[in-house]
């Protein structure tokens, strides 16, 4: 849905958009694969949450439970040659591109088998082979990098696009506007995906901005934008598919704002009702807009799918996650001699 208004309206109202997804015209095989990926991401993050609670993880982790449809929908039409950038809450971005669960778990545990060789932890993920060019904890830090990656693709005459995930909080950084402006002026193939979960740390957007619709910034920079329900896999998928296709055709940058809500706190496994904000009522309502449940309901209504099928899929996913955790937990740490590797660049 394209919106001209400054306000999100019903998209920010958790009492709306709770119905089963409209999956008319969708490929059921693809939908089940996407459902499995959303489930995998959720079970991985729940496991990480449990292990944080058990104090088995030494690094801070930002969980995106409840936001799974975004990474899965956006990643569907990307290629391994594209350049995708995340931020501090990027487990889903990494996994949805095909990043390995064990490599993520091992990274979080600081093991050599981690996707950044155990040197980065949850907020420094890397997956070059699947097109994940990295996540960093500096809010908005990867946004100008994605613009640079898009510039490189354009200069090299490649059809690759750059994608960067950013939050509504990141949109308050000045570098966002410089990035949007440059991308627009030079017509760069970069997709800005703003995961508007209404919070920056513990502060609601109504306390930080005069309007809650972030895409207005893109429009001010003459970038085509859409604001959609981020908990609707089908809508996210279709919109990003259209946007990526237009970018590959030389159409310049696009801005996709996906409205969602994170179920856990800003950082850690708790729900954040104990850090100065009490969002328990909203959280209960937002859980009814669960992207997984809405897809499951739609598949069930369409036939050929039932609770039994869902349960079997879920059990297989949980087994996979447990296995990955065991592997990561028993994997060796990097040798002490590797401590300064990749800290300084080699002189050539």
Residues that bind ligand TPP (CB under 6 A): 88-89, 137-139, 167-170, 197, 199-201, 266
φ, ψ dihedrals at 18, nearest 5°: -105, -5
Smaller CB separation from ligand TPP, 21 or 256: 256
Shortest Å distance, C-beta 249 to ligand TPP = 30
Strand partners, 66: none
Smaller CB separation from ligand TPP, 106 or 225: 225
Q: How far apart are CA 17 and CA 215, in angstroms?
A: 20
Smaller CB separation from ligand TPP, 167 or 291: 167
φ, ψ dihedrals at 340, nearest 5°: -100, 5
Q: How far apart are CA 215 and CA 227, in angstroms?
A: 7
Smaller CB separation from ligand TPP, 112 or 173: 173
Shortest Å distance, C-beta 81 to ligand TPP = 27
Closest CB to ligand TPP belongs to which residue?
167
Shortest Å distance, C-beta 4 to ligand TPP = 23
φ, ψ dihedrals at 197, nearest 5°: -100, 15
Q: Where are the alpha helices (DSSP H) in 157-214?
A: 174-185
Smaller CB separation from ligand TPP, 114 or 167: 167
Shortest Å distance, C-beta 168 to ligand TPP = 4
Smaller CB separation from ligand TPP, 31 or 228: 228
Q: Are 87 and 137 in contact (CB under 8 A)?
A: yes
Q: Are 175 and 144 in contact (CB under 8 A)?
A: yes
Shortest Å distance, C-beta 73 to ligand TPP = 17
Smaller CB separation from ligand TPP, 113 or 193: 193
Collect all residues with Cβ–Cβ distance below 8 Å to 269 and sequence separation of at least 6.
48, 49, 50, 52, 53, 61, 63
Cα separations in angstroms, 318 against 1, 47, 175, 311, 325: 35, 9, 40, 10, 11
Shortest Å distance, C-beta 195 to ligand TPP = 6
Shortest Å distance, C-beta 283 to ligand TPP = 14
């Amino acid at each position: 849905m394209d919106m001209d208004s400054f306000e999100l309206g019903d998209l920010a109202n958790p009492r709306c958009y709770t119905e089963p997804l409209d999956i008319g015209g969708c490929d059921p095989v693809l939908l089940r694969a996407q459902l499995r990926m959303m489930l995998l991401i959720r079970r991985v993050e729940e496991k990480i949450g449990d292990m944080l609670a058990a104090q088995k993880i030494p690094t801070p982790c930002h969980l995106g439970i409840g936001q799974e449809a975004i990474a899965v929908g956006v990643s569907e039409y990307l290629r391994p040659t594209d350049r995708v950038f995340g931020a501090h809450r990027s487990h889903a971005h990494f996994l949805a591109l095909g990043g390995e669960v064990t490599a993520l778990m091992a990274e979080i545990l600081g093991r050599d088998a981690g996707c950044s060789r155990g040197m980065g932890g949850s907020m420094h993920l890397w997956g070059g082979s699947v097109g994940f060019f990295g996540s960093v904890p500096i809010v908005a830090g990867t946004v100008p990098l994605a613009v640079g990656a898009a510039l490189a693709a354009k200069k090299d005459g490649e059809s690759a696009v750059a994608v960067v995930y950013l939050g509504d909080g990141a949109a308050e950084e000045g570098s966002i506007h410089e990035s949007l402006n440059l991308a627009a002026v030079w017509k760069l193939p970069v997709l800005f995906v703003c995961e508007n979960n209404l919070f920056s740390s513990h502060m609601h957007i109504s306390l930080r901005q005069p309007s809650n619709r972030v895409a207005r910034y893109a429009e001010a920079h003459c970038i085509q934008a859409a604001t959609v329900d981020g908990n609707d896999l089908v809508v996210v998928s279709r919109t990003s598919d259209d946007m990526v296709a237009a970018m590959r055709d030389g159409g310049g940058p696009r801005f996709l704002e996906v409205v969602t809500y994170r179920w856990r706190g800003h950082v850690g496994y708790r729900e954040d009702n104990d850090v100065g904000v009490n969002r328990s009522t909203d959280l209960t309502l937002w859980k009814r807009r669960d992207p997984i449940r809405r897809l499951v309901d739609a598949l069930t209504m369409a036939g050929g799918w039932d609770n039994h099928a869902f349960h079997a899929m879920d059990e297989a996913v949980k087994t996979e996650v447990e296995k990955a955790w065991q592997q990561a937990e028993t994997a060796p740490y990097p040798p002490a001699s590797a401590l300064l590797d990749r800290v300084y660049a080699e002189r050539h």
